[in-house]
């Protein structure tokens, strides 16, 4: 099989599922090596299924949910850094000493650079700078991943890694997971039209997302829908019993879960350039 490698750097259990599960599953299906790094246990997430966890046990339960998701996607490997979920902006959890957003930037970037130098991915994947909907941990992981992408090829960056036997590595592409502005409203309208009692987004949620012109790829991943849904269902604490996607017509489920959006952050996209749907397009395996 061609030796093509994708490194996904995300903040919480289920970040690998809802926004990017189709892309990860497709690359595994095509024989690419895919590694996931997750920085927190998601302790500040909601508990959407009664009895699935308590506030005190949520982090440990989500550890097992994440392991289930990694198996469902058939990823080659996974690392969990075990920082604490920082919660949304303004929450008390922001000030927790173990919160991911309070970790020293150089410590996280050093770890991500190590991941890049060890795994040697041609492509790195993370969230866009706004964190999809402003989550502080999503914003932080984008910052750290982008800095690591830029530094991993520099032999003067983290020289202890070099003296320890690692070599500089320059990934060829950095992609950000994104969503187009207005996506939440269209999502709700599709589900309501299918007969689901789905709430309309709040005014705050309506502004989430990137302007459509910033998005380079709108990928149809419906061929990976079953794998993506299996991954999502692993996150039992995060999936409410009223979750509708098994009930609605296939075309509605495909519209909501079968399309994913990406920005190519490195290299810059030139005016008029078309970004290939295959994130490894024109990359030669080593």
Q: Is the pLDDT of residue 118 over 90?
A: yes
For 156-203, the pLDDT digits (tens) are 999 999 999 999 999 999 999 999 999 999 989 988 998 988 899 999
Q: Could you count the other beta carbons within 10 Å of the beta carbon of residue 224? A: 24
Query: Is the four-CA dihedral 181, 9, 3, 18 of positive or negative sign?
Result: negative
Return d(Cα 122, Cα 204) in angstroms, integer.
36
Give Dmax (Cα) for the chain: 61
Please give, one letter per residue, the 3-state secondary structure of 31-90.
CCEEEEEEEECCCCCCCCCCCCCCCCCHHHHHHHHHHHHHHHHCCCEEEEEEEECCCCCC
Return d(Cα 152, Cα 162) in angstroms, integer.
11
Return d(Cα 60, Cα 82) in angstroms, integer.
10
For 67: left if phi > 0, alpha if psi spans -120 to 50, otherwise beta; the answer is alpha
Class of 5-180+210-240+259-266 in CATH? alpha beta
How many percent of the chain have pLDDT more than 90?
Answer: 88
- The pLDDT confidence band at residue 2, using thresholds 50, 70 and 90, is low
Name the residue ranges covered by the structural domains of the chain.
5-180+210-240+259-266
Instruction: Supply the pLDDT for residue 1.
Output: 44
For 229-274, the pLDDT digits (tens) are 999 999 999 988 777 777 778 888 888 899 999 999 999 999 999 9
Q: Which of 88-97, 98-107, 193-202 has the lowest mean pLDDT?
A: 193-202
């Amino acid at each position: 099989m061609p030796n093509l490698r994708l490194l996904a750097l995300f903040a919480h259990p289920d970040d690998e599922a809802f926004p990017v599960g189709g892309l990860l599953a497709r690359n595994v299906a095509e024989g690419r090596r895919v590694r996931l790094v997750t920085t927190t246990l998601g302790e500040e997430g909601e508990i959407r299924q009664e009895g699935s966890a308590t506030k005190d046990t949520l982090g440990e339960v989500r550890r097992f949910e994440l392991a289930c998701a990694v198996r469902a996607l058939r990823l080659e490997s996974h690392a969990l850094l075990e920082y604490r979920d920082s919660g949304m902006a303004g929450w008390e959890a922001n000030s927790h000493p173990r919160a991911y957003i309070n970790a020293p930037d150089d410590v996280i970037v050093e770890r991500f650079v190590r991941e890049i130098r060890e795994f040697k991915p041609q492509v790195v994947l993370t969230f866009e700078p706004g964190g999809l909907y402003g989550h502080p941990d999503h914003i932080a992981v984008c910052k750290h991943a982008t800095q690591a992408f830029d530094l991993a090829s520099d032999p003067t960056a983290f020289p202890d890694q070099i003296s320890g036997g690692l070599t500089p590595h320059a990934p060829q592409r950095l992609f950000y997971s994104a969503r187009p502005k207005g996506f939440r409203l269209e999502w709700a309208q599709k589900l309501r039209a299918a007969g689901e009692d789905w709430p309309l987004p709040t005014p705050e949620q309506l502004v989430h997302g990137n302007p459509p012109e910033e998005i380079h790829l709108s990928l149809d991943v419906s061929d990976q829908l079953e794998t993506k849904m299996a991954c999502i269902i692993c996150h039992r604490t995060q999936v409410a019993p009223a979750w509708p996607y098994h009930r609605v017509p296939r075309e509605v489920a495909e519209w909501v879960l079968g399309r994913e959006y990406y920005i190519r952050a490195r290299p810059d996209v030139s005016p008029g350039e078309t970004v290939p749907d295959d994130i490894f397009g024109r990359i030669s395996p080593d």
